[in-house]
Amino acid sequence: MLKMITLLLGILSPLSFVSSAQPDPGHIANAQTVRQAVRLTPEHFTAFDTMNGVSLNDTKQDVIAHKGKPLTVTPDPFTGCSAYVYQDAAVVLCDGIVDYVHVGSAAGKIQINGSWIPLSKFQVAHALGQPQFQAEDGDVYIRGHHAVKVYTNPETGGLAGVDFFDQASE
């Protein structure tokens, strides 16, 4: 319940930090690599272990070791959590542990368990299969205790962003 409140406050907070994630030009895959990743991914996702190189079990030290120094760190005074903003994602840490990872649509792609997926509704649906839940604001895919939510832009119907989190917190 606390994680759900934290997530909601983070989304509604005037200090919203998740929209500032930018694409990483150093990780833009060529078209052939993307086609191969999309073709290979469905059978690889029996679990969601990492998104953009970050596990939900990672500590602050693990995140910095994997991703380096963040562009910014934005604390949320309401939740006590902090967003570590990188070019390709925002990693939200609460009590020193990853709470969730957000990738904005501007990133152009996500990496799940080491496989890159272009950020389009069609490509993500092809890679992840049928969602376990369909909500007004997007689709939820669950593997074990972890979930990926693909948010839909209400104005355009396109993909707005993707979150990776522990499904018990949703």
The owner of tokens 């009590």 is: 95
Query: 104-129, pLDDT tens digit by residue?
Result: 999 999 999 999 999 998 999 999 99
pTM of the model: 0.73
Q: What is the pLDDT of residues 33-49, one digit of tens each?
A: 444 444 444 455 889 99
Distance between CA 168 and CA 149 in Å, rounded?
Answer: 13
**Burial of 66 from C-beta contacts in 10 A (0-12 / 13-18 / 19+):** middle
Strand partners, 93: 82, 98
